[in-house]
Amino acid sequence: MKKRALSLMLVIFIITSYGLVGAKPILDGSVEFLTKTKNLANTTQEISLVLLALTSAQGKVDYNLIENITYIANILVSWQNPDGGWGYFKGSVSNVVDTSYAVIALSKVLHLYEKGTPEYSKIFHALDDGISFLLSSYSGSGWGYVPKTEPEFYPTVMAIWALGENGFRVDHPYIKRSLSYIANVEEYGIDKYKALALELLAFKSVGKDIDTNLVGEIKKALESENLSVSDRALLTYALVDYEDVNFDVAKALLILESLKKGQSTFYWSDEPKLFSQAHLFEASSYAALSFALISDKLSQGLENPFKTSCEALKSAQNPDGGWSYYYGFPSNEKATYYTLKALKLCYFRDPSIEKGLKWVRAKYEEDKLIARKNKEIYSPYVYALLTLLEFNMLNETEKDENIKLIESIQLDTGKWGDFLGPQPYDTALAIKALLALGVPSNSTEIQRAKNWLLSISKTGWGTYVDTGFYSYMLPPEVSVTLEVLEALAPISTKDELEPHLKWLLEQRTEDGGWANIREHYLIGVFQYKEKPTIELTIRAAELLAEFGYDYREDVLNWLMDKKHGGLWGDTVVDSALATQFLSQFKFIPKINLYDVIRLIPEQKFYVVYTDDRNLTAQQIKASIDKLFETNTTVEKFQGFGDANYIVLSDFGEFNIKDYNPYVKLEVDNETIHINGEEYSIKNTVVLIPGKTETGYILFVFYEKGLDDVVAKIFDSGLVKYLKGDALVVTYKDKNHDGVVDLDELTVKFLR
């Protein structure tokens, strides 16, 4: 005990000696403490947790931690015993618990070094030996403290966590049996709160389904005022690791932050008592891990949607160089055509483009032979041809050969088709190809094709049937109509195409998209509605915009609900067209609350207000300046200039669509609707991020009378942990004392 007490005294002396003027970001201050006191950590667990915390913080603070990380990693490796395990101290008998802590830390730090470097090799071999020690220590249904002893909770849950961090999953026999043991254990043998946190960390690491009761117990524990600091730090880390940013996570972090000690180098510890440890490095490391991890989660999803679409399209490339229409299927010329057109806007001659063009060139030769042999317009041939022309990869001789080929497979002058006779779809593809090859629009073939297409319908095009005795068209389809209109657009007037444009407009579905056939009928009886697709919707919007019917802003809003990761819709063509669409015109990128919050310490912000909210604005300024070490300015709202703003306003004073088209806010007397959900205007505060051409805005909408609620949101520090499309805060004075407490707020992050 004397050794431990002496260490704590030394730590306090060190951090007070290094006290600096001015506050630091919480993560920077906690990391600085760990780097300055690293030599005082004197157990395997402490060294491992410090290493884990610094590794997690690398790249998130203003200075490079790699030298400190390497130093601590070398110490940890040097403490490894010949059997591959670690003991409590250097030279102690190997045990499962301390080996697990070391394995978890080394598994994280390994990724900081390049393969083949001495540091990587040293850590890799130490990690491999540590995992082997854990596997050899298994005792039939779990782990004991030392090899081949009866299982106990603490070593078992730690071994599961350590192995999970190294790729072991629930289906591994050792993990599967150990999880059964954990589920039936009656005594933890350690602090209950520590056990709950370690269970959550271990279960998540191996991919086990998490019981909501376990998470609920952790949240309930974090509400306790009697929780030790070390337990609170570990429970907070487990919750932050498991959940995305939400009110429970934010509250846990705010409480943990309030318990920090030190002026500029922050640390956490239990209150020192006789014959008990302060858990200084354990508490401080888990706190640093929590704040490092939340910085990752706050920053997730902030990338430009165009950029992420480009990267997702690139990664969807098949090994042969092409792209499939549906993900995971063989490469397809049409999908590759649209994808390469999109990637051309993303990158300049990227290797993925070169590889794709190589695939297209090979397919072009095959497809050309098929078209010649069958004497039909073969759509894969046309898309391969259009791709090569898009990238200027055909010489004049090759262009002439293709013109002659396309002209030679006409059914009649200006008509291309199949066994059913001339087809609008095939004829449109032929027009597109000939125009791209440089054939003048007034050529006989193109003009006759145009005249024939315009003569056979006034309300869109579908499959055309010509029996020789009579001809008719099946119900028009949007896909065929778009192909024809895209072909005719460069060579026709609006008046010539007006009937078809109006038909296309009529096919728009209630939600603002386009399906191939809007509604299906059988013998005049309605059957079902088709689902709109991104491909048809974007092509329709772009085509209509050429003739003055501009629905692109509406389509942009419609499109934002169709993203899955970096991809859009159900097909590669959907994603490719969405990427092109996003790149073609100036639009407001989707804004996250954290997009605004993260700029407050870095850029100039004005707190502006409408009506008589000056006092509240002054309170917000004081809170912001204290939280972020800034100097904001308070002004009555006069308009947006070249700056960033926090706006205090009543609902309805700003059209949020002008600053953030992705959040739908409507006010109806005493009710507000946010993204379709209903709230009472009398007890609701809404925070919505916005964007102008030159800056960012954080709108704070509320009705007068809720000024204290707004002040509490900022004064509590909650704003530091905002993420999502918007924040909705509802207030209820539960104890009827007229004082707003954090526990009286119900907070919902909209995503």
637: CATH:
3.30.379
Residue-wise burial string across 471-485, b where 16 or more C-beta atoms lie within 10 A, e elsewhere: eebeebbbbbbbbbb
Residues 408 and 527 grouped into a single domain: yes
Looking at residue 528, its pLDDT comes to 73
Q: What CATH number should be reported for the domain holding residue 314?
A: 1.50.10.20
Residues 392 and 440 grouped into a single domain: yes
Pick the closest to residue 288 from 627, 16, 57 (CA basis): 57
Residue 122 located in a structural domain? no
The rounded Cα 254 to chain-centroid distance in angstroms is 24
Residue 174 located in a structural domain? no
Residues 336 and 274 grouped into a single domain: no
Distance between first and last Cα of the chain: 50
When pLDDT is averaged across residues 248-275 and rounded to a whole number, the result is 84
Residues 482 and 622 grouped into a single domain: no
Residues 436 and 319 grouped into a single domain: yes
Residue 381 located in a structural domain? yes
Residues 701 and 736 grouped into a single domain: yes
Ranges 72-86, 406-420, 488-502: which has the least confidence? 406-420
Residue 155 has pLDDT above 80, yes or no: yes
Residue with tokens 């990227």: 350
**Domain stop point among 536, 567, 584:** 584
Residue 379 has pLDDT above 90, yes or no: yes
Locate 254 and state its tokens.
């705010």
Q: What is the mean pLDDT of the chain?
A: 88
How sure is the predictor about 277, in pLDDT bands with cuts at 50, 70 and 90? confident
Q: Name the domain count of the chain.
A: 3
3-state secondary structure 364-399: HHHHHHHHHHHCCCCHHHHHHHHHHHHCCCCCHHHH
Give the pairing type, strands 671-674 and 665-668: antiparallel
Residues 422 and 536 grouped into a single domain: yes
Distances (CA, A) of 731 to 222, 606, 742, 750: 22, 26, 9, 17
pLDDT tens track for 305-355 = 667 788 888 889 999 999 999 988 999 999 999 999 998 887 755 788 899
More confident residue, 596 or 80: 80
Residue 573 located in a structural domain? yes
pLDDT tens track for 531-564 = 899 999 999 999 999 999 999 888 888 887 777 6
Locate 750 and state its tokens.
């909209």
Which residues, in sequence order, are bridge partners of residue 466?
Answer: 471
**Domain stop point among 243, 261, 295:** 295
Q: Which range of residues forms the domain containing residue 20?
A: 1-40+211-295
Residues 492 and 389 grouped into a single domain: yes
3-state secondary structure 158-170: HHHHHHHCCCCCC
Residue 123 located in a structural domain? no
Percent share of the chain, pLDDT over 90: 60
**Domain stop point among 295, 319, 336:** 295
DSSP class of 304: -
Residues 580 and 597 grouped into a single domain: no
Report the SS3 class of residue 498. helix
Locate 714 and state its tokens.
């900022």
Residue 275 has pLDDT above 80, yes or no: no
Residues 364 and 415 grouped into a single domain: yes
Residue 559 CA to residue 537 CA, distance in Å, equals 9
Residues 580 and 598 grouped into a single domain: no
Residue 337 located in a structural domain? yes
